[in-house]
Copies of this chain bind each other. A is one copy, B any other.
Amino acid sequence: MTLETDLLDALRGIATHPAARGLMDDAAVLGDLVLTHDMIVEGVHFLPNDPPADVAWKLVAVNLSDLAAKGAVPIGVLTGTGLTDDPDWNAAFVRGLHEALLHMNVPLLGGDTVAMPKGAPRSFGLTAIGRATGHVPSRAGGAVGDALYVAGVIGDAGLGLAIASGQMSGPAELVTAYRRPRPLIEMGCALANQVSAMMDVSDGLLIDALRLANASGVGVAIDLEAIPLSKAALRLGDDRAARLRAATAGDDYALLFTSALPLRDLPGQPQRIGQLVAAPGLHLTDRAGHVPLPSQLGWLHQG
């Protein structure tokens, strides 16, 4: 996205406070507070016929996933809701918001509600505030030789989107993975003091891994066959094409991290998928050897 890239460069030029981390990270860090703000817009991040409760869920989940990646426990959210004159949609949205907040155990602290002009898409923003439980990992802490891990699974949400939009058939659990992602808060907090770098996988594993490597000033090697796919995804295919599709699909909200240490005391078993290397860029292999990079490494939201 030209627009986002240009704008981000301009915004980075004015975000000089150290807490902003140069706008290169998933969140801002102010003392022990971790703060993040993501927007979702109808026609960009969700479709007019998506269930409103799922839109609300996603709004909360994508922001809490950023807190998870920084090892922060959510302490509150503020919402900006730009709605249209559709009382049923709006009521369902608020019910979904309530359900998501209860499920993810975070209170609504405030915000603003605006009626959008006629014909305008719905537009939402959410600020999530978290409290760090220890070290607040950045994307930039990785070093050559660190192992690269994923906690959670990769590719379910991409398959779920394809199923939801009628491009293929598959089980409902994949659609749920797309519409109701679960931020890995507990895992993120347990990992925070054990990782050298961490981020959440929102735009696709390959593009996000490259971002982590670039931020750390190193390269990254990934074994395509080590990427954790769910059983439901594996039943739909496990060849190179299927794995590349999983590794370039967005919206998974898994955690991607690096560590030079053995991992311990975790609420699950992250999967080692590769390591950081000296040669810059992204290096992909499977049992057949070198895998050429796909032309798209991930999902870039189109305006």
On A, residues with C-beta under 8 Å from B are: 1-4, 6-8, 10-11, 13-17, 19-21, 23, 27-28, 30, 33, 35-39, 41-45, 75-76, 78-85, 87, 90-91, 94, 97-98, 101, 107-121, 123, 125, 127, 129, 301-303
Contact = CB atoms under 8 A, between A and B. Distances in A.
Contacts of A303: 84-85, 114-118
26 contacts: A3-B90, A3-B115, A14-B97, A14-B101, A15-B109, A15-B110, A17-B108, A19-B107, A19-B109, A28-B110, A30-B75, A30-B76, A35-B76, A35-B127, A37-B111, A37-B125, A39-B112, A39-B125, A41-B116, A41-B120, A42-B117, A43-B120, A112-B125, A114-B301, A115-B303, A120-B121
Dominant secondary structure at the A interface: mixed
Given A35-B109, A41-B120, 5 more contacts: A3-B115, A7-B113, A15-B109, A17-B108, A37-B78
A112 B76 contact: no
A110 B111 CA distance: 17
A303 B117 CA distance: 5
A97 B114 CA distance: 22
A94 B7 contact: yes
A97 B7 CA distance: 12
A45 to B, nearest CB: 8
A211 B117 CA distance: 26
A11 B94 contact: yes
A37 B43 CA distance: 23
B78 A80 contact: no
B39 A80 contact: yes
Nearest to A21: B110
Contact of A127 (B7, B11, B91, B127): B127
